[in-house]
Amino acid sequence: MTQLHNIAPVYDQNSRILILGSFPSVRSREVGFFYGHPQNRFWRTLAHVLGDEIPRTVEQKKVFLLSHGIALWDVIASCEITGSSDSSIKDAVPNDIGGILDAAPIERIFTNGATAYRLYCRYLQPVTGREAMCLPSTSPANAVWTQARLDEAWAVVGKRNAMPFIGEKERF
């Protein structure tokens, strides 16, 4: 059965960074916001690398993102998916990120994990003409990445003048 993305993107006219996931997990779709599973390390990792407190509520998370110039959405608008497994994604239909790119001065695009990166390269990069940098997934399924390693890899999000992109072979 086709699952539809049910979470609106978060961005405003001050967003300089765009972070794209693949598709919301079952838990995220249930709570109606990104990275809703308590074991997902997305919010903890971003708070660590940006030197801020971990946001808890949906409203706090939106304020957190916008206060740091971060836009957040997913590559896929709808797909066939088994549970929350990115590896099971089939018949993907991409989101149109043009509205974000038109409304915000996005300087850098990051993906949360290799699947989001592959999907971005396949569906969105040909349309946008913009490179993305693949960061390691914050999913609890990515257990080989400790919190300390995630913080180190994701630190590039908080670095204003960091090298904006890396190549396919150098990605995580």
Confidence of residue 32 (pLDDT cuts 50, 70, 90): very high
Is 40 one of the annotated active-site residues of the chain?
A: yes
Amino acid sitting at position 14: N
Q: What is the rounded average pLDDT of the residues 83-107?
A: 89
* 145-165 pLDDT per residue, tens: 999 999 999 999 988 644 444
Answer whether 85's CB lies under 8 Å from 3's CB.
no
What distance in Å separates the CA atoms of residue 6 and residue 153, rounded to the nearest whole number? Answer: 29
- Angle at alpha carbon of residue 23, lines to 170 and 147, rounded to 5°: 55
Q: What is the rounded average pLDDT of the residues 118-132?
A: 96
State pTM to two decimals.
0.90
Spot the catalytic one: 40, 95, 142, 161. Answer: 40
* Domains (range + CATH), the chain: 10-161 (3.40.470.10)
- Measuring CA to CA, which residue among 103, 17, 20, 108 is closest to residue 67? 17
